[in-house]
Amino acid sequence: MSQRVPCISAHSPEQGRDTGGPGEQSRRRTLGALLVAVLLGAGVWLLIGQAASFSRLLHAINRADPWWLTGAVLAAMAAYLGYALLYQALAGVGDGPRPRMGLTLRLTAAVFGASVLATAAGRLGSEYWSLRRMQERPPQAWSRVLAINTGEWALLAALAFAGALALLLGAGGRAPLAVELAWLIALPVCLIPALYLTSASCRRLAEDRGTRIRRTFAAALRGIVLLRALVTRPSALSRGLPGGLLYWAAELLTVWAALRAFGVSLGFPALVVGYATGYVSTTLPLPAGGAGGVDAASTYALTLVGVPLGPALLATLVQRLCTYWLPLLIAVLASPSLRRLRTELPRVTRPSTAR
Q: pLDDT at position 30, please?
A: 61
Q: Residue range 85-91: average pLDDT? A: 88
Banded pLDDT at 212 (limits 50, 70, 90): confident
What are the two backbone dihedrals, phi and then psi, of residue 12, each rounded to the nearest 5 degrees?
-75, 160
- Beta strands per DSSP E along the chain: none
The 3-state secondary structure of 118-143 reads CCHHHHHHHHHHHHHHCCCCHHHHHH
Residues 191-207 have pLDDT tens digits of 888 888 777 767 677 67
Domain boundaries, the chain: 66-347
Residue 2's pLDDT band (cuts 50, 70, 90): very low
pLDDT for 40 beyond 60: yes
- Asked whether the beta carbons of 124 and 219 are under 8 A apart, the reply is no
Q: What is the pLDDT of residue 119?
A: 46
Q: At what angle do helices 177-197 and 138-168 cross, to 10 degrees?
A: 140
Residue 169: pLDDT above 50?
yes
Averaged pLDDT of the chain: 80
Q: Are 87 and 302 in contact (CB under 8 A)?
A: no
Is the Cβ–Cβ distance between 216 and 83 less than 8 Å?
no
Per-residue pLDDT of 214-263, as tens digits, reads 777 777 788 888 888 787 777 777 888 899 999 999 999 999 999 999 99
Q: With a cut of 50, say whether residue 21 has pLDDT above it.
A: no
The model's pTM: 0.82
How many other CB atoms are there within 10 angstroms of residue 232's CB atom?
A: 9
Which pLDDT score, from 0 to 100, does residue 67 have? Answer: 95
Query: Which residue stretches of 134-233 are H helix?
Result: 138-168, 177-197, 212-232
Do residues 51 and 306 touch, judged by C-beta distance below 8 A?
no
At what angle are helices 268-279 and 234-261 packed, to 10 degrees?
100
